Amino acid sequence: MKHILLALLILALPAFALERPKLQIINAAQNPLEVYWEMNDGHRVSNGTIAPGKDKIIGTTLGHRFVITEGVKNGVEKRVDVVSKVPVQGFRYDPAAKDGVPAFYTQVVRAHGYPICGSA
């Protein structure tokens, strides 16, 4: 009987497994973005390109750091670092908007650092 219960428990474990955290990156820039996972030693692993107006959802681990870059201009890399902090997280890359909030939002308040936006 114990063996049957143990076997059933083992078979049920995948149903109890939590999904990996997800990071959605939205490209609101005019140029394509390169996305890299940055390892602790600084080595970068490519996570692909995001076209303007598109987004990408990356399965990740909490604490992983990602580098988002438009490339190198005049010898300087334009980059933003994003750290996966919560199980479902979004980041909107828009160099023309303050903190990724589009200009058409006339009212912005923050709750624990997250913008809540509205228009009058």
* Per-residue tokens: 73: 């201009």
CA distances from 1 to 4, 6, 8, 42 (A): 5, 9, 11, 52
User: What was the pLDDT predicted at 115?
Assistant: 76
Q: What is the pTM of this model?
A: 0.72
pLDDT in tens, 28-47: 999 999 999 999 999 999 99
* Per-residue tokens: 11: 């078979």
Low-confidence ranges of the chain (pLDDT < 70): 1-3, 5-18, 98-100
Q: What is the dihedral of CA 33, 34, 37, 43, to 10 degrees?
A: -140
User: What was the pLDDT predicted at 119?
Assistant: 78
User: What was the pLDDT predicted at 22?
Assistant: 95
The fold of 20-118 is Immunoglobulin-like (2.60.40)
User: What was the pLDDT predicted at 102?
Assistant: 75
